[in-house]
Structure 1
Amino acid sequence: MTRGHNPEGMTLETAVAEFVAERDGNYASNLEYCLKKWVEWCQKRDCKTVNDVSTLTMRNYASYLKRRSDAEEGIAATTARTYYNYVSALLSWAVEVEQLAENPAEKRRAKKPLPKATTNSGDQQFWSPEQRRAITEYVDERAREAIAVDGTDAFEAVRNRALVAMLAYSGVRGAEVLADARDDRRNGLRWGDVDLENGVITVLGKNQKREPTPIPDQVVTPLERLETLLGSPADNWPVFPSRHPPSLYAAIDDTDHDKPDGNSWGYILETGIEPPSISTSGTRTLLKRLSDEADVPGLEDDDYLTLHGARRGVGEKLYRERGAVAAQRTLRHADPKTTSQMYSHIEASEMAEDNTEVFDGE
């Protein structure tokens, strides 16, 4: 492609399109999604061309990522730094094609606000077997009690049991099965994407592609009971509906139905209106409550079992019991190095044990 001289500079949309076109595979998909989000962020700040991107622009972007990382329902520090690095790669490319004199993202003062990423994999939370057992046994007991007392009205407890099982045993990312307010495409797992007979769900992966994901029997059974309670829900129904009244009334308002005077959830079931999915934020609130009620061991006073801690816990168990390949395949890491880095503390511990045996005979 021949690029004519543009005194105002190449537009950000054009830069992203040309940069991504030179890349392949999952990396290109991730780049395109993240860079388009960055372009939207820039345009709100009247930054429209590569020439408009200054060191201050990138410092402000780093601060924005830091705030997202610090937020209760925010992104991981490593994810924040990955997003920044994607933008920096784009700007380095702009330098290569002579659209920029230098890369402002590489200036020290631009990168300074970025959150510090945890380098020790053992310092990151993962659900231990004891913690996983405590919370799954608790929600299972609550579901059984609710069914005994309320029968078909025991929806919330049965949903919570299925949701916790999904997080505890499948290794999915929270945003793959829950609604994410930051991404309209992530509106929660749907029953049409669930194959209980074969133990497979289909999710929108991190690579922005739909991926089949295995779910073990520890997840299938609670989902079967939830499906039965809902009475074979429509394929477009979310697997984990929200019971948040304002959200339910908003869903009702989007239809031609009259607004109910009382039980919004009962009205949803009666009319077949599609409810919203519980969100990642709502699930974090739920996990805080359940962690406290279940008296989960190994948590400090204000700690709780996190969404991503569930995923790491699945990988941790598989890595120890079945090896790196099993963990990588279940977690769907495109690069084996990602899995190795995530569980490097296990490798170090195993090496320490081996080395101890070597020297024990001296």
Structure 2
Amino acid sequence: MNADRTHSRARNRGGQTVEDAISRYLNHKLESGGSRSTMKPVLESFAAFCTRESVEYVDDLDSSDCREFGLELREHYIDGEIAGSTANTYFAYVRAFLSFCVRDEQLDTNPAATESAEEFLPEDRPSGETQFWEPAQRDRLLEYADERVRMAREETIDVSVERAYRDRTIVVLLAELGLRGAEMFRDTNDDERTGLLWADVDLESGRITVFGKSRDREPVGLTKAARSALERLERVQDPPTDDWPLFPTDHAASKYAAVEDATGERPEPGSDIDTICRDKRVAPPSITKEAGRQILKQLTGEAGIELEGDQEYLQPHGARRALGAELYEKGHSELAQSALRHKSIETTHKAYSDIKAEDVAQSIDEVRE
């Protein structure tokens, strides 16, 4: 939540809550070309957003709230979780709901029907823009991450050993487990997404627990490669507390602020802030989603990986899509559903409908031969 939005909002106790208004809308009036089944999860997501923004009643909503929701959709687009066209469709569903609220005399005007509210929405492009990590690209990125660790140990590059292992582990967890960037890194727009901590890792049982898209704690099993990467990172990092992040920030000012918040005293400028954090057992913040993207952009470029079209780097969500595609292509659709933690097999089928169509065509050819 933005700092300027933490003020106490005026409440109209005679008004209708956002959740009640959404329920009324879904039960009695649907617009914008959406069915109840397609609009319901989007509007429930909007209701959850309103809760995070301390908006309880419909008449508390204003254009800046809708603008923030548009920015959140843009973040999902940047992370590769939804297409630009999908972000615009979701916003259209919310706009249609708020138009209903105007007619229902819950609002005077529609706060989503302004240029300001729509400013952050991504360009409306077709869903074909979604990226996959090709096997050769994935293998090269993993290979380079290993090379970088070796070079850091030999001190032939200006990268610390701990940072090299940190970045290598990021690549491995993305490639092996298909984790979302929002499940691994800190989200500056969501106070509950603080990034993975060592308390989330159970190497003995072979699992890691993430704060999933559903906003529930979800266990994820570790493959051999993922488990090995985490074991090596733990040995190198030697986290002093369980609340230490797997991927601590390199941003010194953030570490200074963490120590000051925890102790009430700010270390002197030029201090060895990393040693101070360890000595005082003050965990630094995790890197942000944007920092995670920058790391992948750097590694993609340094590894000399060629990309098609206007793609700049291997995005986090591309690894997730690739893992699901690999399992789906081999006929393991239920395993793909479990690995990606989709709530239903229909979601998995929809995500890889192009692969399913190709399989059907191949089966027809085989029958006719």
Q: Return the TM-score normalized by structure 2.
A: 0.75
Partner of 2:126: 118
Partner of 2:5: none
Partner of 1:252: 259
**Structure 1 residue 142 corresponds to structure 2 residue 148:** yes
RMSD of the TM alignment (CA)? 4.2
Paired residues, what number? Answer: 338
Q: Deviations over 1:203-235 (max 9, x none)?
A: 111111111112211111011011111225421
Percent identical residues: 35
Give the match's secondary structure for 1:202: strand
C-alpha contact (below 8 Å) 1:88/1:103 kept by paired residues: no
Q: How big is the shift at 1:308?
A: 1.1
**Structure 1 residue 329 corresponds to structure 2 residue 338:** yes
C-alpha contact (below 8 Å) 2:252/2:273 kept by paired residues: yes
How far apart in 2 are the matches of 1:10 and 1:137? 61
Partner of 2:134: 128
How far apart in 2 are the matches of 1:74 and 1:124? 7
C-alpha contact (below 8 Å) 1:136/1:165 kept by paired residues: yes
Which ranges in structure 2 are unaligned for 5 or more consecutive residues?
1-11, 28-38
How far apart in 2 are the matches of 1:81 and 1:164? 30
Q: Which moved more, 1:277-286 or 1:236-245?
A: 236-245
Partner of 2:171: 164
**Structure 1 residue 346 corresponds to structure 2 residue 350:** no
Q: Deviations over 1:33-57 (max 9, x none)?
A: 53243478797xxxx9646879xx6
Query: Pick from 173, 197, 200: which aligns with 1:193?
Result: 200
Query: Pick from 283, 287, 290: which aligns with 2:296?
Result: 287
Give the match's secondary structure for 1:185: coil
Q: Return the TM-score normalized by structure 1.
A: 0.76
Q: How big is the shift at 1:99?
A: 5.2
Give the match's secondary structure for 1:350: helix
Partner of 2:46: 34
Pairing of 1:1-362 with structure 2 (within 5 A): 11=15, 14-17=17-20, 19=22, 32=44, 34-38=46-50, 50=58, 61=67, 64=70, 68=74, 76=82, 77=84, 80-81=87-88, 83-84=90-91, 87=94, 91=98, 115-116=123-124, 118-120=126-128, 123-149=129-155, 154-256=161-263, 259-260=267-268, 261-300=270-309, 303-359=312-368, 361=369
Q: How big is the shift at 1:114?
A: 7.5
Letter in 2 for 1:11: G
Q: How big is the shift at 1:61?
A: 4.9
How far apart in 2 are the matches of 1:212 and 1:19? 31
C-alpha contact (below 8 Å) 1:176/1:204 kept by paired residues: yes
Q: How big is the shift at 1:20?
A: 6.1
How far apart in 2 are the matches of 1:335 and 1:225? 35
Letter in 2 for 1:177: M
Q: Deviations over 1:100-131 (max 9, x none)?
A: 69996999x999978535344xx410111111
Q: How big is the shift at 1:253?
A: 2.4
Distance 1:82 1:268, change over 3 A: farther
Q: Deviations over 1:282-330 (max 9, x none)?
A: 0111111100001124445761000111111111112123521111111
Q: How big is the shift at 1:262?
A: 4.0
Give the match's secondary structure for 2:218: strand
Which ranges in structure 1 are unaligned for 5 or more consecutive residues?
1-7
